Amino acid sequence: MEILIFALGMLLSHQPVHSRLFIPGITNYFACDKVHTVQESDTCWSVALTYRMPVQLVKWKNDITNCRQLKPGMKLCVKYKLTTSYFIFEKSVFLF
């Protein structure tokens, strides 16, 4: 929180930054870390079992409303990693 307050103060005072300033981004999201290509015999259930994840997660993260939508060649995200965006201000950059 102190970093955010410091950054806001820098923005308001128009002062140069004399070193790198890392501000954690507000954006946290789950990025796809592994993709599964659907085969002829795949079902939501078989994909979920293969990757040890709940069927509902397979459906939700891949925007599947009906498992009959699965077609060979479709790409499904089956593993996720938490990602945080960072804003980096380089040395001697004026913040405005």
* Domain coordinates in residue numbering, the chain: 2-89
DSSP state of 53: -
pLDDT digits (tens, 9 = 90+) for 15-42: 444 555 555 555 656 778 899 999 999 9
pLDDT digits (tens, 9 = 90+) for 53-96: 999 999 998 999 999 999 999 999 998 887 766 666 555 555 55
Predicted pLDDT of residue 96: 53
Predicted pLDDT of residue 17: 47
52 pLDDT above the threshold of 70: yes
Q: Is 63 helix (H, G, I), strand (E, B) or coil?
A: coil
Alpha-carbon gap, residue 37 to 49, rounded angstroms: 15
Q: Is 10 helix (H, G, I), strand (E, B) or coil?
A: helix
Predicted pLDDT of residue 32: 85
Predicted pLDDT of residue 65: 94
Please state which architecture CATH assigns to domain 2-89.
Roll (3.10)
Alpha-carbon gap, residue 90 to 29, rounded angstroms: 25
Predicted pLDDT of residue 27: 60
